């Protein structure tokens, strides 16, 4: 029996970075909850493949290719989704990049531009294009994928962390701006999740063992554990949650190292 608190029947959801990892898990959970899905990434072949795969699982998914480093492409994406579905109820901005590893002062201008544009500015472009119509429909929900790299200092992902801290602040700002229009905006900050994106960490035994020793649950997370929260934030059950940055990290950021 479907639980009305987690029901997205009749809703349309756009998920960026939706062809693998956390984005794919979110798309699948939204679809299982009844939403029609707009699957987006920069790779047309991947988008089509994933949409067909989800269709084969009985979900209603369509593909939309977009390069989020281009404002024109982002505006086109918003227009294409509106034209295809006629509405949008849930926006999950999950796409992200981390082109620079190491001290933040060593990051190039190109690293800065790519990181801030894809991780942060594209979310602003999308919300600016889509929230007015969402408000006209009577409301909706936005989920921004941040990171625990944005809530604490670190030596290797400083630039990425800056972009994700900005994304969490964007959630707070938009929540205040659009709350009177019944639009909720929240961020999720995952810890280490078992995805292709995290392999530079999870594939290094010495590094991951040290991280897990500092994590109370002593394991990495799964994409479905992030998707479950994204579903709550999109569904009626999360209807009084807005402007929050919710950490999902197995306790890494609150652990004392014991």
Q: Which residues are catalytic?
A: 160
What are the structure tokens assigned to 133, written together?
């119509």
Taking alpha carbons only, the member of 217, 163, 226, 160 closest to residue 193 is 226
User: What DSSP string runs through the chain?
Assistant: ---GGG--TT-EEEEES-SSHHHHHHHHHHHHTT-EEEEEES-HHHHHHHHHHHHHTT--EEEEE--TT-HHHHHHHHHHHHHHHS---EEEE--------B-GGG--HHHHHHHHIIIIIHHHHHHHHHHHHHHHHT-EEEEEE--GGGTS--SSBHHHHHHHHHHHHHHHHHHHHHGGGTEEEEEEEE-SBSSSTTHHHHT-HHHHHHHHHTSTT-S-B-HHHHHHHHHHHHSGGGTT--S-EEEESTTGGG----
Phi and psi angles of residue 8, each rounded to the nearest 5 degrees, phi first: -115, 25
Contact 21, 46 (CB under 8 A): no
């Amino acid at each position: 029996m479907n639980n009305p608190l987690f029901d997205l029947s009749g809703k349309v959801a756009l998920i960026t970075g939706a062809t693998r990892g956390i984005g794919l898990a979110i798309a699948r959970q939204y679809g299982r909850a009844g939403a029609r899905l707009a699957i987006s990434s920069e790779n047309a072949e991947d988008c089509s493949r994933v949409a067909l795969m989800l269709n084969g699982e009985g979900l209603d998914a369509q593909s939309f290719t977009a390069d989020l480093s281009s404002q024109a492409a982002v505006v086109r994406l918003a227009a294409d989704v509106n034209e295809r579905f006629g509405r949008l109820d849930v926006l999950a901005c999950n796409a992200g990049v981390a082109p620079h590893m190491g001290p933040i002062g060593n990051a190039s201008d190109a690293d800065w531009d790519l990181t801030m544009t894809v991780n942060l500015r594209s979310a602003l472009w999308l919300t600016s294009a889509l929230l007015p119509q969402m408000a006209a429909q009577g409301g909706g929900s936005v989920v921004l994928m941040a990171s625990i790299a944005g809530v604490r200092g670190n030596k290797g992902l400083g630039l990425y962390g800056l972009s994700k801290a900005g994304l969490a602040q964007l959630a707070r700002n938009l929540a205040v701006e659009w709350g009177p229009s019944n639009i909720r905006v929240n961020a999720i900050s995952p810890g280490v999740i078992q995805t292709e994106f995290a392999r530079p960490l999870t594939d290094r035994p010495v590094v991951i063992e040290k991280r897990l020793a500092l994590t109370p649950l002593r394991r990495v997370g799964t994409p479905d554990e992030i998707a479950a929260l994204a579903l709550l934030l999109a569904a009626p059950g999360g209807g009084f949650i807005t402007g929050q940055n919710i950490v999902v990290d197995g306790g890494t950021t609150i652990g004392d190292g014991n």
